[in-house]
Amino acid sequence: MEELTQVWEWIWEVAGYRLVFNAMTIVMTLIIMGLLILFGFYATRKAQYVPNPCQVVGELFVQTFWNLTRNALDEEMAKKYFPLICSLFMFLLLSNWIGVLPHMNEPTKDLNTTLGLGVMGFFIAHYAGIKTKGFGNYIKEYFQPIFFMMPLNVIGELAKVISISFRLYGNIMGGSIIIIVVSHLVYGLIVPPFLYAFFGLFVGTVQAFVFTMLTLVYISVQVK
């Protein structure tokens, strides 16, 4: 289990405080961002009527998530939040898939990544709710159906962040643990490649889609 317990760290001393950063997560996140930027560049550089493979994949993502966002929100709201939803899915998908490659680690295997994305979705959803309904109407909803339900409503909103973050983290980390255990048992002969394909590609795709759709639903609930 050394693959999970050994963490490449960056340690900075700032004003007497010791700051510890997970260097692997940071580096892998930067690599994924760079890959997405390159993909966007090649998919749009020479857009043509008969598309190249990158353009085909890009159009598939755009069309699919535009339809999903427009169905969850109205046309005007979809124009604002579609870029977030589409880019979030693409980032999570590549983050979950990259662990299939040798010596690569999934950024989503770090709770800081999933929790950070969950908090981001939380603030965006509530900002959208305040902007759409007005601050007064937004606050009133926390006192529904009876005023003393407010603490439970607040806890329910905060629980969404924990739920969405730990679901993604747990699935990716759990898959890594299973792969490592089975690899040691069978010495990496037959089963691990199939496990990598299952947890890295299939489960990774499903969890990326679930996280993205839940973020979209949270925004939709707040603005309606």
* Long-range contacts, stretch 62-70, CB < 8 angstroms, 24+ apart: 62/86, 65/89, 65/212, 68/213, 68/216, 69/216
pLDDT given at position 189: 58
Summarised one tens digit per residue, pLDDT across range 65-74 is 999 999 988 8
**Domain limits of the chain?**
2-223
Under 8 Å between Cβ of 41 and 100 = no
Q: Say yes or no to pLDDT of 8 above 60.
A: yes
- State the pLDDT confidence band at 170, using cuts at 50, 70 and 90: confident
pLDDT given at position 81: 93
Give the predicted TM-score (pTM) of the model: 0.87
Summarised one tens digit per residue, pLDDT across range 205-221 is 999 999 999 999 999 98
Q: What is the three-class DSSP state of 13?
A: strand
Q: Say yes or no to pLDDT of 6 above 70.
A: no
What type of residue is 96?
N
Q: Say yes or no to pLDDT of 192 above 80.
A: no
Q: Say yes or no to pLDDT of 180 above 80.
A: no
Summarised one tens digit per residue, pLDDT across range 91-127 is 999 999 888 887 788 899 888 899 999 999 999 999 9
Mean pLDDT for 15-36 is 86
Under 8 Å between Cβ of 196 and 179 = yes
pLDDT given at position 210: 93
pLDDT given at position 100: 80
Q: Say yes or no to pLDDT of 90 above 60.
A: yes
